[in-house]
A and B are shown apart, each in its own frame.
Chain A
């Protein structure tokens, strides 16, 4: 019910369109009922050989209904589909705008294929919420009222019989069968998801499948799942066939009962004979409105699961973000943690001797140790907007980085990644950050960019706590090139201009030249307007990285972070690019992240991540 209401809320802006579509939908059914009913009356009346003029009004009515039905149907369809696609747009924007602030943290668990299924599939499924879930019952209800009033004008018994069978067809039969097939449906969804994942695997892992001769095996697995799905779908078809057959019988029975009730009335003269043919026809045709009701339940199920899954992504309780979003709890944990680490920091000041340290947890008893330092700002969220924020980055600013006693882990269940990391980077320094894979080099970048919130310790940018800035402003300060930097499936130009939409052709070329990619781009038949394919697949690994570097250069940020950025380049190019970058960025800070030492020779400082923390 809550899901239903929250979905309804999304439809609110389109109220008018919905009312119009509903009205036409009601009129469509009524036209058909009218056509058959009036025709039956006309023929019955004519059988009594009245003067032709008496029939004129009826004849006109028959012709009117003959035309109106088609016109109303067309209008109804047009308006309801228009509403549907507007809903689709709203849904997409709604989802994206909720997702965007949480990314990339909330997407940690999702991979591309799954996301595709989620976003496109679920949103697609939801677009039918009005057309298939909301509209049919509302139309059916309007028709019910109309026909009920009409029939009760003849005799209440007709109206009641109609009511009973109408409910039977529209609600009771489909609900019963739906209940019977519930387990089946769930199983089907599971198998479908499995099959989907398999197919995504098959395509994305094609190299491995081919190399290891697994094609046969993969085909067999897909066939197995496909066969299972087909069996389930077959059973489902059996149920839906039963629903259809049941509804059909109920509809026919309704007409039959009305006929049986009417026959004695005609015989006894309580009902005029010319209405005898009309009554069952009128009842039978009005069932058109409930014909699509059986599907409503399954469509609603679909919509609801889709809606739930979308919300699962955007409303997932996120450990890191729950802190950021709940100032109260954060304040508490922060002070606790701070007191604790400060204490640790104090008790082992700069000593290199490895003292066995208990892994502190938020609940550990050591938290009771009184703080020796003044309370830090416990509520950065509140102050975030008030404090001075960094606006458009200019080199006049002070962008030194100071990291102290940084503790971080992705969730309380996972092990700590940083156990009290401390180091400083002065403005303009060229620093190499090294460490084995898994040491948290990329995590550190994510923390600097505030994609994740750190729990304990401080990161200061320009002397101020990182958390006091708005995340957007912080990201303006960093130019980041990482191995996972994404290139969009569009032209090279658009990919570059992402960094600075207002850049001139000249600026763009400059950046590309510095990244040593300009000549290559110019050699392409379409130059900067070349489409580069999904994820830049039409470029080689090295070319992709150069484009990414050019993009970062175009951004012209005060701090440049190269997160394994040149790993895909050959040695010659890597050296060239790095040297020219270091030269170009003389006044700026450059942080080169690498697990190798080779490319980072001319550095002011080398920070080995594992050795700058307690353990």
Chain B
């Protein structure tokens, strides 16, 4: 029941642990002293016929011992809690920061309920492990040994009984504990699953009512509860068995010691004072072991929780195999089929990398209008459409490029992206369209660095700096580290703002939520961003305006309103690139027109990628990329693509020719 990883955690607060052990020794001393004094007093009064006056010094000493014990008890409680608190804090931080490095695409598989449970309850469970179980373990090892040192010289037989039974107790604990361990794991799982199930039922209660099934859910809850009761009782039945064995061992041996002492006393083979001393010590000898038994469950729960916590901590971004080779072979076959355009883009990237060293190629100018070294920032303070004060910093020569990118979530289910290449620059408005499931959101995830490409490159050139997200090379340690250290990713993400389809509002005020885009923005800028996103009107109507609390426990906003706040947030961020991932599907026509206006306003400072299956926004884009079956199959302006009568034409036609 000692988890190595948990003990390593304990090492961080080693001095506290040592203190706990020293305090344990002190308490053992006091126990022996107390028993000795009591035995002597009783002996004097009972057999030697002394009165109160003769034993009053010893009675006074006894009081002092009581006080000493109490102080030790208090101190050990305080210290063990300190130990636990430090460790818990540290673990929670590590868990959270690890989840952040894993990123949003990875945690989609986990249910939020279970993750929160691990983060909150799981970490709290460790309190019992560190504050109760571990100190008790120390006591259980020290106190019996100390007592034995006093019993053996006085009475071999009693000492022998104690010595024989004591090791049996941990033995039983380990034997039964191992058995109960797997059951305990099950219990933890079923508790986790039960909480997830409940959340699910409650979130879906409206749906259940719609189908007239909400009442029937009672039965399911009863069934789930019963199953939980059964598994938990199953665990406890066994866990209690270990307690039974422990209890039985200690009480039965106390009884044996007592009877043995009594019999030897009759024959005068032992002194009364010694006999009563040993009797007083017998329960104290077993007490720490028994208490360890009661903490055993806490210990197991801690280890189970730790299991889950470390599973999260050790979960990797993606299992690497010899994917590289697989793709390379596919590549060879595909190369022949490749279109000219793709090759061009590849050349392009090669050129860009070349410019890092020398800056004289003239072909590249065709793609990169201005030289990378020439940083051109524009500070615009525009008064337009009543929008004022939003700072627009822009680097005109920035671009974002994706080259021959492959990606599969799960190789068995096939590739989502099969060699996607495109590029867009600041000042451009590009739309990415395609049927649902074509891989549009995967492109967004890759561009944000949430997931790594299996193969291919993603390059961002911004403000003169060139950043590259490569496919991970299994034999290249350095790059793998770069990914996890996130220094590249952090810089990368500074350049891109994303509005996801379902935006999250954090607990805090409306202003706080917009400020997330750029924390040092002034109130004027927040208002300007909100106006730009068409959120200002409804915010002003809220009871406390921009200071209205939203998110968990705050005012409820409609889906469209949340989406507008998310847009405002993204507008505020001074990133040269903006990705709207189905961000306007919650908005009505007027709202969408508003966004068009806003994008037009932002045009000099932003490159915008609109991911949409709604074609109204897409139709007005400078360039439309059509994604189908993991590839970009068409590219061009709305009219051009319509004339081509290809995939885009079909999409538009289906939409009713609205655009």
Instruction: Say how far B250's CB is from chain A's closest CB, in angstroms.
Output: 8
Do B498 and A211 have beta carbons less than 8 Å apart?
Answer: yes
Q: What is the chain A residue whose CB lies nearest that of B67?
A: A249
Segment 246-265 of B: residues with Cβ below 8 Å from A: 247-248, 251-252, 254-256, 258-259, 261-263, 265
The 8 A CB mask of A213-252 against B (1 = contact, 0 = none) is 1110111001100110010011011101110111011001
Do A207 and B208 have beta carbons less than 8 Å apart?
Answer: no
Instruction: Say how far B589's CB is from chain A's closest CB, in angstroms.
Output: 5
Segment 89-141 of B: residues with Cβ below 8 Å from A: 89, 92-93, 96-97, 99-100, 103-104, 107-109, 111-113, 115-116, 119-120, 131
Segment 69-85 of A: residues with Cβ below 8 Å from B: 69-71, 73-74, 77-78, 81-82, 85
Instruction: Say how far A8's CB is from chain B's closest CB, in angstroms.
Output: 20
Complex Cα gap A285–B212 (Å)? 58
Do A96 and B217 have beta carbons less than 8 Å apart?
Answer: yes
Q: What is the chain A residue whose CB lies nearest that of B433?
A: A570
Do A238 and B255 have beta carbons less than 8 Å apart?
Answer: no
B186 at the interface (CB under 8 A from A): no
Do A39 and B212 have beta carbons less than 8 Å apart?
Answer: no
Partner pick for A211 among B215, B276, B497, B614, CB 8 A cutoff: B497
Residues of B within 8 A of A197 (CB): 507, 551-553
Residues of A within 8 A of B615 (CB): 571
Do A116 and B436 have beta carbons less than 8 Å apart?
Answer: no
Segment 35-92 of A: residues with Cβ below 8 Å from B: 35-36, 39-40, 42-47, 49-50, 52, 55, 58-59, 62-63, 65-67, 69-71, 73-74, 77-78, 81-82, 85-86, 88-89, 92
Residues of A within 8 A of B71 (CB): 245
Complex Cα gap A328–B32 (Å)? 75
Do B100 and A47 have beta carbons less than 8 Å apart?
Answer: no
Q: What is the chain B residue whose CB lies nearest that of A500?
A: B211
B204 at the interface (CB under 8 A from A): yes
Q: What is the chain B residue whose CB lies nearest that of A596?
A: B589
Do A113 and B552 have beta carbons less than 8 Å apart?
Answer: yes
Do B279 and A200 have beta carbons less than 8 Å apart?
Answer: no
B73 at the interface (CB under 8 A from A): yes
Do B225 and A88 have beta carbons less than 8 Å apart?
Answer: yes
Partner pick for A598 among B62, B500, B506, B658, CB 8 A cutoff: B658
B488 at the interface (CB under 8 A from A): no
Residues of A within 8 A of B255 (CB): 35, 39, 62-63, 65-67
Residues of A within 8 A of B504 (CB): 201, 204-205, 207-208
Question: Which of B51-59, B303-311, B395-403, B631-639 contacts the other chain?
Answer: B51-59
Instruction: Say how far A561's CB is from chain B's closest CB, in angstroms.
Output: 10
A369 at the interface (CB under 8 A from B): no
Question: Which of B41-49, B525-533, B596-604 contacts the other chain?
Answer: B41-49
B185 at the interface (CB under 8 A from A): no
B240 at the interface (CB under 8 A from A): yes
Instruction: Say how far B119's CB is from chain A's closest CB, in angstroms.
Output: 5
Complex Cα gap A233–B556 (Å)? 33
Instruction: Say how far B472's CB is from chain A's closest CB, in angstroms.
Output: 18
Interface centre among A88, A116, A234, A242 (most CB of B within 10 A): A116
The 8 A CB mask of A572-586 against B (1 = contact, 0 = none) is 111110000000000
B559 at the interface (CB under 8 A from A): yes
Complex Cα gap A195–B92 (Å)? 11
Do A542 and B199 have beta carbons less than 8 Å apart?
Answer: no
Do A241 and B73 have beta carbons less than 8 Å apart?
Answer: yes
Residues of A within 8 A of B226 (CB): 89
Residues of A within 8 A of B74 (CB): 238, 241-242, 244-245
Complex Cα gap A59–B258 (Å)? 9
Complex Cα gap A31–B254 (Å)? 13
Question: Which of B172-180, B315-323, B365-373, B649-657 contacts the other chain?
Answer: B649-657
Partner pick for A49 among B85, B268, B494, B497, CB 8 A cutoff: B268
B496 at the interface (CB under 8 A from A): yes
Complex Cα gap A91–B517 (Å)? 44
Partner pick for A237 among B77, B279, B585, CB 8 A cutoff: B77
Do A541 and B233 have beta carbons less than 8 Å apart?
Answer: no
Segment 512-528 of A: residues with Cβ below 8 Å from B: 520, 525
Instruction: Say how far A394's CB is from chain B's closest CB, in angstroms.
Output: 16
Question: Which of B189-197, B347-355, B461-469 contacts the other chain?
Answer: B189-197
- Given the interface pairs A196-B120, A244-B74, A498-B213, the reply to whether A119 lies near B202 with Cβ below 8 Å is yes
Do A81 and B236 have beta carbons less than 8 Å apart?
Answer: yes
Do A36 and B272 have beta carbons less than 8 Å apart?
Answer: no
B66 at the interface (CB under 8 A from A): yes
Q: What is the chain A residue whose CB lies nearest that of B72?
A: A245
Do A537 and B108 have beta carbons less than 8 Å apart?
Answer: yes
Complex Cα gap A119–B253 (Å)? 46
A111 at the interface (CB under 8 A from B): yes
A350 at the interface (CB under 8 A from B): no
Do B258 and A73 have beta carbons less than 8 Å apart?
Answer: no
Do A449 and B247 have beta carbons less than 8 Å apart?
Answer: no
A489 at the interface (CB under 8 A from B): yes
Complex Cα gap A196–B551 (Å)? 13
Complex Cα gap A484–B99 (Å)? 27
A476 at the interface (CB under 8 A from B): yes
Do A77 and B243 have beta carbons less than 8 Å apart?
Answer: yes
Q: What is the chain A residue whose CB lies nearest that of B89?
A: A226
The 8 A CB mask of A85-114 against B (1 = contact, 0 = none) is 110110011001101100110011111111
Do A92 and B221 have beta carbons less than 8 Å apart?
Answer: yes
Segment 8-41 of B: residues with Cβ below 8 Å from A: 34, 38, 41
Segment 375-404 of B: residues with Cβ below 8 Å from A: none
Partner pick for A572 among B63, B505, B654, CB 8 A cutoff: B654
B314 at the interface (CB under 8 A from A): no
Residues of A within 8 A of B450 (CB): 207, 210
Do B96 and A222 have beta carbons less than 8 Å apart?
Answer: yes
Do A540 and B244 have beta carbons less than 8 Å apart?
Answer: no
Residues of A within 8 A of B207 (CB): 485-486, 498
Do A73 and B262 have beta carbons less than 8 Å apart?
Answer: no
Residues of B within 8 A of A483 (CB): 559, 586
Instruction: Say how far B289's CB is from chain A's closest CB, in angstroms.
Output: 13
A534 at the interface (CB under 8 A from B): yes
Do A233 and B655 have beta carbons less than 8 Å apart?
Answer: no
B616 at the interface (CB under 8 A from A): yes
Do B265 and A534 have beta carbons less than 8 Å apart?
Answer: no
Do A263 and B55 have beta carbons less than 8 Å apart?
Answer: yes
Instruction: Say how far A490's CB is from chain B's closest CB, in angstroms.
Output: 8
The 8 A CB mask of B601-618 against A (1 = contact, 0 = none) is 000000000000111100
B232 at the interface (CB under 8 A from A): yes
Q: What is the chain A residue whose CB lies nearest that of B82?
A: A234
Do A107 and B202 have beta carbons less than 8 Å apart?
Answer: yes
Residues of A within 8 A of B437 (CB): 520, 540, 542-543
Complex Cα gap A120–B194 (Å)? 8
The 8 A CB mask of A183-211 against B (1 = contact, 0 = none) is 00000000000011111111111111111
Do A209 and B100 have beta carbons less than 8 Å apart?
Answer: yes
Question: Which of A158-166, A272-280, A335-343 contacts the other chain?
Answer: A272-280
A436 at the interface (CB under 8 A from B): yes
Instruction: Say how far B636's CB is from chain A's closest CB, in angstroms.
Output: 18
A451 at the interface (CB under 8 A from B): yes
Q: What is the chain A residue whose CB lies nearest that of B199?
A: A116
A-B contact pairs, 30 of them (CB 8 A): A66-B256, A71-B244, A74-B247, A89-B225, A92-B198, A97-B218, A108-B556, A120-B195, A195-B120, A197-B551, A199-B119, A201-B507, A208-B504, A210-B100, A249-B70, A267-B51, A276-B45, A277-B42, A437-B586, A475-B211, A488-B200, A498-B208, A498-B211, A520-B437, A534-B199, A567-B586, A568-B585, A570-B436, A574-B655, A598-B655
14 further A-B contacts with Cβ under 8 Å, apart from A210-B104, A249-B69, A276-B45, are A46-B275, A111-B553, A116-B199, A120-B198, A198-B507, A209-B100, A219-B100, A226-B92, A241-B76, A241-B77, A241-B78, A277-B276, A436-B590, A540-B437
The 3 closest A-B pairs by CB, nearest first: A66-B255, A595-B588, A542-B436
